[in-house]
Chains A and B, each alone.
Chain A
Amino acid sequence: MGADPRGVLTGTHFLDGDHAAAEGALAAGANFSAGYPITPSTEVVERLAVRFPKTGGVFIQMEDELAASIAIQGAVWGGAKAITVTSGPGFSLMMEHLGYGVITETPFVLIDVQRGGPSTGLPTLPGQADMMQARWGSHGDYEIIALAPQSPQECFDLTIKAFNFSEKLRTPVLLMMDECVGHMLERVEIPPAEQIEIEPRRFTDKGPGEQYWPYSLEECEPGGLVPPMTKVGLGHYPHITGLTHDERGYPAMNAAAQTKLVERLIAKIRDRRDEIIILEEDHVDDAEVVVVSYGITARVCHPAVDRARAEGHKVGLLRLITVWPFAGSRIRALAGRVRGFVVPEMNMGQMVREVERAVAGRCPVRHVPNAGGAVHDPDTIYAAIREVCR
């Protein structure tokens, strides 16, 4: 299905990542956003506040992040496609509702434009230290999908992809941006609507009054674990709760119901890892040393990799576009033949732990930490590459 031309600003633009993400949401068919201002993410909703009234959408500024992250879920059950945006401290506040979205299987997109932390930290400067919070920040067991753009163009493209994953798998999807990408101005190409592929929401075929259960597998696609949705007003009377529930959506306080529900919620994402995980590989095929990075940091890796290659070192760059689920099997496969990995990221050691887990001691993994506030100096990355090449 192509995008609705109403929301698509086809053409070539000079946009920052935040504005590009807002245009991505519009192109994806988003028509509802609730937000709470926080630097460096606010420009996303500011743009939606300008654009929505001209495209038939609704924006509301809520009283806090908790309200914003649950208002969008109310809107989704009202039939909307919804998005909210935040940064570190707000992301912490939204964690409860990330879990609510997972257990109620409510599709929406949540963008975290990361800044340096902990706490109020560095509001106007970048970080990549919410990566583990994205994966584990809400309580309980769950799987999450998170994408990491490295440019305004990708902020546009991956916001659409995030919506598509969220509709397909009936789950919240995160876009893990950072302040640099959010505020960086670059050329953004927005294609014509018909060239933008949109995953439509799959509603139940049941008519009004027919027995519809929001978590019944009866109408799932073959082999799928994603039940079709409904919305208010269709006469299906779904009961939606954050409690552990049975297929009817009714609370079921026992181990068997918990096992059945949690195993399905996790399996519906793990089983489709291969179609969710998007990677970009540059010179990885013949590489003896592989640099693994994501977001803005991956961009800073290029000069370091180029310099090492110019000196005759076989170095490749593996960029994680999908950060969660983690590309463990690709790293595992490479670990069998490379001399080592170099992992630069704008934190003191988060995704590197996943790399180490996949490598399982078969070769060295050299982390290149950065506490945030400024991107890596390519020289630091180059030095780490040389160390592993030695």
Chain B
Amino acid sequence: MNETCSIATPSTPLVPGEHHPVEEWLRMERMPHIWCPGCGIGTSVNCFTRAVDELGIPHDQIAIVSGIGCTGRVAGYLRLDSFHTTHGRAIPFATGLKLAHPETTVVVYSGDGDLFAIGGNHFIHAARRNVDMTVICVNNFNYGMTGGQVAPTTPEWAAASTTPYGAAEKPFNLPNLAEAAGAVYVARWTVYHVRQLTKAIREAMKKPGFTFVEVIAPCPTLFGRRNRLGDGLAMYESYHTRSVVKNGADTRECALTMDSPIVCGSFVDIERPSYFVTQIGALRRSLGDRYVLPDTWKGVVG
């Protein structure tokens, strides 16, 4: 065993005598994590672990797939089958994983830049196919890990390191994009709304098909500092004052600006046959008895 391996394990709590309630879901030997003070990603992970805990899905039946960036590092901290893939490609990796092993509940957990810039095409196609997976997008409105560059979600006129005079492009309205592409469940919460976020993740993971949860989170180090939004706590406070809960809201009204209300809630919850159902249906219709269901699909989607 090399030196880097001999650090804390779950049986040796960081604070003597204290165990974090979701510790069993975490790779405690990897703590401390890399995220900055005030960052919202850790809070979202806390909500995620509580959601999976409440769902009662066994650990070995959940796989987590991340792309690149700060949120991309989530996979590496979760004690699950975890995959830290290439930039933007978490969703197609997850698609292959799910199709090969449908027993596994697959969660893609990544950032706004990863999922919607380089990965935008994969997002819309997975939603269109309705592959069973939950996509959790931590939206902090910029590229954190590479130094706060403009993202497809950066609000108009917000400053970023590559838009020093203000972003002039219209950002994506993620819930609207997800709905238009075919997602069967779409929700948005901020990291201030820990209980609601936990519940939304739970609902999304329970629902068959392609489900999407947007998590609004502060990046005080880059987006906050550059746009004079204060520290992490101040940004959490702004979520408290700016957020409006509107379950079932029309996603066309969910666009975000620097000072608009942040519309939160569960917006879409529809029924549509998932990928497995449509594929098996089509193949059985054409091939009848000649269709051989893949061994791994038996008993899961039969």
Instruction: Please list the residues of chain A having a beta carbon within 8 angstroms of any beta carbon in chain B.
Output: 6, 31-32, 34, 53-58, 60, 62-64, 66-68, 70-80, 82, 96-97, 100, 208, 231-243, 246-248, 250-252, 256-257
Contact = CB atoms under 8 A, between A and B. Distances in A.
Contacts, number: 161
Interface string B91-129: 111111111110110000000000000000110010000
A100 B97 CA distance: 15
B279 to A, nearest CB: 8
A237 B291 contact: no
A278 B79 CA distance: 43
B30 interface: yes
Contacts of B283: 53
Nearest to B102: A78
A99 B91 CA distance: 18
8 contacts: A62-B92, A66-B89, A71-B99, A73-B85, A77-B100, A80-B100, A242-B84, A256-B2
Contacts of B4: 246, 250, 252, 257
B59 interface: yes
Contacts of B5: 246-248
A187 to B, nearest CB: 27
A295 to B, nearest CB: 30
A22 B283 CA distance: 20
A234 B291 CA distance: 28
Interface of B: 2, 4-5, 27, 30, 59-61, 63, 65, 75-76, 79-86, 88-89, 91-101, 103-104, 121-122, 125, 283, 287, 290-296
Nearest to A246: B4
Contacts of A79: 100-101, 296
A313 B157 CA distance: 77
Contacts of B93: 70-71, 73-74
B99 A53 contact: no
Contacts of B79: 237
A58 B99 contact: yes
Contacts of A76: 96, 100
A100 B85 CA distance: 8
A100 B86 contact: yes
Contacts of B103: 233
A376 to B, nearest CB: 38
Given A74-B93, A237-B79, A60 B99 contact: yes
B97 A250 contact: no
A311 to B, nearest CB: 55
A77 B294 CA distance: 16
Contacts of A250: 4, 27, 30, 76
A73 B82 contact: no
A73 B292 contact: no
B290 A71 contact: no
Given A67-B95, A231-B101, A238-B81, 14 more contacts: A31-B294, A66-B92, A67-B89, A67-B92, A68-B92, A71-B92, A71-B96, A74-B92, A75-B96, A78-B104, A79-B101, A232-B97, A237-B60, A248-B5
Given A97-B86, A235-B59, A54 B296 contact: no
A70 B296 CA distance: 20
A55 B2 CA distance: 45
Contacts of A235: 59-60
A53 B286 CA distance: 10
A74 B122 contact: no
A221 B5 CA distance: 23
Contact of A54 (B30, B88, B287): B287
Contacts of A73: 85, 93, 96
Nearest to A232: B81
Nearest to B92: A67
Contacts of A252: 4
| Interface-central residue, A60, A79, A239, A247, by most chain B CB under 10 Å | A239
B179 to A, nearest CB: 19
Contacts of B98: 74, 78
List the 7 shortest-distance A-B pairs measured between CB atoms, nearest first: A78-B100, A74-B96, A78-B101, A71-B96, A74-B97, A67-B92, A241-B84
Contacts of B100: 32, 58, 74-80, 82
A222 B240 CA distance: 60
B240 to A, nearest CB: 35
Nearest to A72: B96
Contacts of B30: 250
A7 B218 CA distance: 52
A82 B96 contact: yes
B84 A239 contact: yes
B61 A233 contact: yes
A56 B59 CA distance: 28
B152 to A, nearest CB: 17
| Interface-central residue, A67, A74, A100, A247, by most chain B CB under 10 Å | A74
A50 to B, nearest CB: 10
Contacts of A241: 75-76, 83-84
A78 B290 contact: no
A97 B122 CA distance: 15
B96 A237 contact: no
A54 B86 contact: no
A53 B125 contact: no
B172 to A, nearest CB: 18
Contacts of A75: 96-97, 99-100
Contacts of A246: 2, 4-5
